[in-house]
Structure 1
Amino acid sequence: MPVKNRFAELHAEITEWRRDIHTHPEVLYETHRTSALVAEKLRAFGCDEVVTGIGRTGVVGIIKGKTNTGNKVIGLRADMDALPMQEQTGLEYASQTDGAMHACGHDGHTAMLLGAAKYLSETRNFDGSVALIFQPAEEGGNGALAMVEDGMMDRFGIQEVYGMHNEPGLAVGEFALRKGPLLAAVDFFTIEIEGKGGHAAMPQQTVDPTLMGTQIHTALQSIVSRNVNPVDRAVVSVTSFQTGSDVFNVIPHTATLKGTVRTFSPDTQDMVEVRMREVANGIAATFGGKATLEYNRITPATINADTQAEFAEDVATVISGGCNEAPLVMGGEDFSYMLQARPGAFIFVGNGDSAALHHPEYNFNDEAIPFGSSFLSEVIERRMPAA
């Protein structure tokens, strides 16, 4: 497989960077150590510009090619943050931070982009500039949106943007992507149910919020089965149902349902929110109670631009001899905000037979490093060939 020889030479060094980041995970926007490490290495590589504090703790490094005939700028993005969970790998470089773990491989993403940065700084065999984007708070903090709203795209003149994520179950050295929708929009909801509490032996004197909650929970599933076009995709999942206390003979006054909605189409997203409100209000009113829906749109769908996705597929094919078609995934990714701001593509790189993402025994596969770094650097050299 034609991995760039330089990344075979740098493999051990990049692995050391990755494992150091793994040992010191930081969540959300608290990526102070990681951001400082990234900025220090970018400066040491000889980047032409290194800017910190974008989107609070994001870092952008600029590398100029040998020529700049068309003022082209392409962005390459890696996420830096970890998850608020306890690691159970038993690795010698396991997390030393209680309650934080790189369980999604962002340590590997950051290391692979740093590897590409070192190579591109050495060779500069392209026409234009590359913007190396190191993003905080992908895990629920919308760090991509924070960087975009901080003016990153216009400030650095970024015209296209590419991102990558490791994929357990996909063989090391393989890639997968698809044109158009790839990952779903992520919405969170809370339904507050108000009834009338009382003695469990006299339910006729109460308005039972637990009963309303169970009926609402069941009816919400009819939205996908009876309101969503069968050729479209949507998920409505209630993940929390809180009601009552440990007292056996008390009917509570309130109950709360929480959960998530996943969709690809904005029209479907709008419809689901409307129907959820109608279902909750209607059922609560039927029983004599009241329901209030709080609906929060967290992350839009990740949609690859056709032209850039086709190009990314060609690059992956050069490196691995082919590129798999990725399935539609109902998980979310805030790189979607960057793709809303600029055309680009998001691709998966194989992590081999590892534990699943967000699992306490997950670990990024260091054997994937040369493939990821090769892909990122090849994007620049092929999309902006040296004049």
Structure 2
Amino acid sequence: MDLLRFITCGSVDDGKSTLIGRLLYDSKSILADQLEAIERASKTRDNGEVDLALLTDGLRSEREQGITIDVAYRYFQTPKRKFIIVDAPGHIQYTRNMVTGASNCQLAIVLIDARHGVVEQTRRHSLIASLLGIPQIVVAVNKMDLVGYSQDVFSDICIQYAELAKKLNVSAVTYIPISALNGDNVVDESKNMPWYDGPTLLHYLETIVISDDVNPAQGRFPVQYVIRPQTAELPDYRGYAGKVTSGTFRVGDAITVLPSGETSVIDGIELAGQSLQEAGASQSVILHLADDVDISRGDLIVRTDNQPVTSQTIEAMLCWMDTKPLSVGSKYVLQVGTARTRCSVRQIAYQLNVDTYDHTEDVDSLKLNDLANVVLRTAQPISFDPYQQNRATGGAILIDETSNVTVGALMLVGEAG
């Protein structure tokens, strides 16, 4: 049984938390004690109905304000597939939380209130989903019950979003009319919209094919730890521990260590004390090489026949996540995988306007939640793949040197000219 990670995003009060609650409730994925707890909490509300949003809005401040603030993760499964749901906050103030939540998702559900259509946060979250390389987008037009289940309203919103998708070069978009509160087209088909002949949301999630577009030859192994016991039983033991982030490695493969450029051959692969002939993506293993090569934490072992970019001048898309503004010339720590190095912001090439997707040039600073194209200069060479080719090695973060706080999320584009 495979696993699908998806995120729900959209504007405030579009019904993201309620939708997730409805998915869990109607698919019978709520434990008895959880249901009892939200029933008790719901009794304090005026209408007395079970508030399904409480399944994900767990913080006290979220329940008091009736909005999602932090990213919430929920797990459930059906007979056909396992799911991890990421509930992203809709308020503009918490856009940075949406970026962190979406970074590992394979599908995005963009909720749109049928009464309001495409709004600013719809455009903002769709832009972020596009920048993060999420391959599938579902536009769930929610609260159809409040517009009389009108087909014309649904069609108009589909046309609005299709125009937006063209600007983002998003091709795989599916449109589903729903009412999360009443359960229309969420798990069960709706009798209120006979004009809609497509799948329910859950059926779509269960059957969508999620392709693994990582090139098997694009073997990437960030070194986390060098194992040298130097005991009487293992006097010559030298292993390199880490997680294969993409591609495959086999015994006998020619490899290159970056950024040094040293070469060798894989002499052995070890997993929990057992020898393997091959290791693939997501496996945490120990690699043994035929030669004694100078390797340390932060180095990247790759297959010699397929190497990433190695550079000290990097172009990247940035989401700024700190209340303190970023300015040209500021210095930070750049982390890509296990590699860390100091860097400076050489240039802000342009800032993205989330309303029009236009580029604003001649910008010298960024504030919280701004999206921009920047050029960084690093103290040491960094090896990476363009984010659109390999999300595992193309994502990075900026860290404040003094507070050690993550202040920026980066999608690396390539070597800057």
Fold agreement, TM-score > 0.5: no
TM-score, normalised with respect to structure 2:
0.23
Structure number with the higher strand fraction is 2
> Relative CO higher for 1 or 2, CA cutoff 8 Å, sep ≥ 6?
1
